[in-house]
């Protein structure tokens, strides 16, 4: 059946947003011929970006058991629609940690986007800004944070920290993030080293060794002052110092206290999977957590992110926001995560595939499609407002 175009059914009432506007544009072919199915888009992006970059983006740990488990866990829950609620006018917008968002969906921090498309993170920032979707800028961006932020104009943005060993460099990063309008600090704590990733090991390709993804470092005045030659003149030395700086193996809970002095806004820990760690984060005064197994890229055999969400939301869900990522691919996935206790979700690989096929327009295609699907699914479930999503909406599959 051809989808109904329902005027006023868009979030916020705007004629161009939401499900109806997306479908109207898609049918008018203004979006090109990019697939809306995430797997088909991934296939197409593999052709466009090339096998090496595609393998890095796909790059799960080990045999991919955890990446598969992330999907299987989402598929083990089923939604139970309600009927005859007149849910033609809907609202997806939420406010979280001082950030207004058109839907509880953010662009996850993804480094080295320069291997995927020449415009890299700047394209992602621009696309997110056009939609109002918050972008979490990675420490491993391929262009300096100032350029990424400039591409995003005055749109909402958060900063993801891979914590350098040197306090002075870490403080410089945070000062730059603050100066460029990043309001929330996301500290990733599941990556003291990259996981065992056969696709990356087997092609001996690590973008950072070629200086892609180290721009935050090589553009940093404190980092540069420690080199005996500029990164432009001696890239090798810069890469070696980057490598020494990101050896964060020694970080412990005790280290977190200093972040409070260095960062005045909310701080989240990303990569929490154990309820006791979630409780520890709350007790340590953090403002929230992101339940994530890094999209299955770190510990192969790690618990599926959704299976970790349920006990964690039970433990701390009433105290602080709990965000979620790893495996979200469509509107129903977003609703399942919210129903099981998440306040918002992050999406990683799907928008990177969009970047690969069409730069900023491709990223926009992915987020517009996801938000349209979410809007439609919410309506078909009989709800008017995303904030109505609760545990009564899901049942375990038999
Ligand atoms: C190519 C790539 C690079 C990533 N880089 C970072 C990063 O720099 N910092 C970080 O915290 N997470 C990084 N992640 C993990 C994402 O933030 C997110 O946790 C993950 O992609 C979510 O799973 P999904 O891809 O299934 O949506 C990266 C993921 C990918 C695919
Ligand atoms: O590949 C990743 O998952 C990731 O988090 C990362 C870490 C360092 C540099 C680039 C990406």
Residue 154 has pLDDT above 90, yes or no: yes
- Known binding positions for FMN: 109-111, 138, 160, 188, 270, 292, 325-329, 348-349
Atom number, ligand 1, closest to the C-alpha of residue 326: 23
Atom number, ligand 1, closest to the C-alpha of residue 116: 1
- Ligand 1 in reach of 114 Cβ (< 6 A): no
Q: Strand 288-291 and strand 267-272: pairing?
A: parallel
- Ligand 1 in reach of 11 Cβ (< 6 A): no
Of 11, 2, 27, 1, residue with least CA distance to 379: 11
What's the 118 CA to ligand 2 centre distance in angstroms? 18
Q: What is the pLDDT confidence band of residue 18, given thresholds at 50, 70 and 90?
A: confident
Q: How far apart are CA 18 and CA 91, in angstroms?
A: 9
Q: Is the pTM of this model over 0.80?
A: yes
Q: What is the pLDDT confidence band of residue 33, given thresholds at 50, 70 and 90?
A: confident
In degrees, rounded to 5, the angle at the alpha carbon of residue 261 between the alpha carbons of residues 259 and 262 is 60
pLDDT in tens, 257-266: 999 999 999 9
List of residues 6+ apart from 276 with CB closer than 8 A: none
Q: What is the pLDDT confidence band of residue 11, given thresholds at 50, 70 and 90?
A: very low
Ligand 2-lining residues (CB < 6 angstroms): 111-112, 140, 191, 194, 208, 213, 294, 297
Q: Which of 8-12, 192-196, 313-317 has the lowest mean pLDDT?
A: 8-12
Q: What is the pLDDT of residue 165?
A: 94
Q: What is the pLDDT of residue 5?
A: 34
The ligand with the least distance to the CA atom of 66 is 1
Q: What is the pLDDT of residue 15?
A: 42
Residue 306 has pLDDT above 80, yes or no: yes
Is 294 among the catalytic positions?
yes
**ipTM for the whole complex:** 0.99
Instruction: Please name the residue whose Cα sits nearest to atom 19 of ligand 1.
Output: 294
Of 13, 42, 9, residue with least CA distance to 23: 9
What is the enclosing helix (H) or strand (E) of 184? strand 182-188
User: Rounded mean pLDDT of 264-277?
Assistant: 98
Q: Which CATH number describes the domain made up of 34-396?
A: 3.20.20.70
What's the 57 CA to ligand 1 centre distance in angstroms? 9
User: Rounded mean pLDDT of 21-50?
Assistant: 88
List of residues 6+ apart from 45 with CB closer than 8 A: 54, 57, 116, 352, 353, 354, 355, 356, 357
Atom number, ligand 1, closest to the C-alpha of residue 109: 17
The ligand with the least distance to the CA atom of 323 is 1
- Known binding positions for glyoxylate: 56, 162, 197, 294, 297
pLDDT in tens, 384-393: 999 999 999 9
Residue 294 has pLDDT above 70, yes or no: yes
Q: How far apart are CA 175 and CA 184, in angstroms?
A: 13
- Known binding positions: 56, 109-111, 138, 160, 162, 188, 197, 270, 292, 294, 297, 325-329, 348-349
Q: What is the pLDDT of residue 30?
A: 60
Q: What is the pLDDT confidence band of residue 249, given thresholds at 50, 70 and 90?
A: low
What's the 207 CA to ligand 2 centre distance in angstroms? 10
pLDDT in tens, 63-120: 999 999 999 999 999 999 999 999 999 999 999 999 999 999 999 999 999 999 999 9
């Amino acid at each position: 059946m051809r989808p109904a175009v329902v005027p006023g059914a868009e979030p916020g009432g705007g004629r161009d947003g939401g499900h109806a506007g997306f479908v109207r544009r898609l049918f008018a072919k203004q979006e090109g011929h990019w697939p809306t199915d995430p797997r088909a888009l991934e296939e197409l992006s593999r052709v466009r970006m090339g096998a090496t970059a595609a393998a890095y983006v796909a790059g799960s740990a080990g045999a991919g058991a955890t990446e598969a488990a992330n999907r299987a866990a989402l598929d083990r829950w089923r939604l139970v629609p309600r009927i005859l609620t007149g849910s033609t006018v809907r609202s997806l917008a939420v406010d979280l940690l001082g950030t207004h968002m058109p839907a509880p969906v953010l662009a996850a921090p993804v480094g080295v986007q320069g291997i995927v498309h020449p415009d890299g993170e700047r394209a992602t920032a621009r696309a997110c800004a056009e939609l109002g979707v918050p972008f979490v800028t990675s420490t491993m961006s391929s262009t300096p944070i100032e350029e990424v932020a400039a591409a995003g104009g005055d749109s909402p943005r958060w900063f993801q920290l891979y914590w350098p060993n040197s306090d002075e460099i870490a403080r410089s990063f945070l000062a730059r993030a603050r100066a460029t309008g990043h309001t929330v600090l996301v500290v990733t704590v599941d990556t003291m080293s990259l996981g065992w990733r056969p696709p990356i090991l087997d092609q001996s390709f690590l973008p950072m060794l070629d200086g892609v993804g180290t721009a935050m470092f090589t553009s940093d005045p404190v980092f540069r002052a420690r080199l005996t030659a500029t990164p432009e003149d001696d890239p090798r030395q810069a890469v070696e110092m980057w490598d020494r700086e990101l050896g964060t193996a020694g970080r412990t809970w005790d280290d977190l206290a200093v972040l409070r002095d260095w960062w005045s806004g909310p701080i989240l820990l990303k990569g929490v999977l154990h309820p006791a760690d979630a409780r520890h984060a709350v007790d340590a005064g953090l403002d929230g957590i992101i339940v994530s197994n890094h999209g299955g890229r770190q510990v192969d055999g790690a618990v599926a992110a959704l299976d970790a969400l349920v006990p964690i939301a039970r433990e701390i869900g009433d105290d602080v926001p709990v965000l979620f990522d790893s495996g979200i691919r469509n509107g129903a996935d977003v609703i399942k995560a919210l129903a099981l206790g998440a306040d918002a979700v992050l999406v990683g690989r799907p928008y990177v595939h969009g970047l690969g096929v069409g730069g900023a327009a491709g990223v926009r295609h992915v987020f517009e499609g996801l938000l349209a699907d979410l809007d439609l699914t919410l309506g078909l479930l009989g709800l008017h407002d995303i904030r109505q999503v609760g545990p009564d909406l899901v049942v375990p599959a038999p």
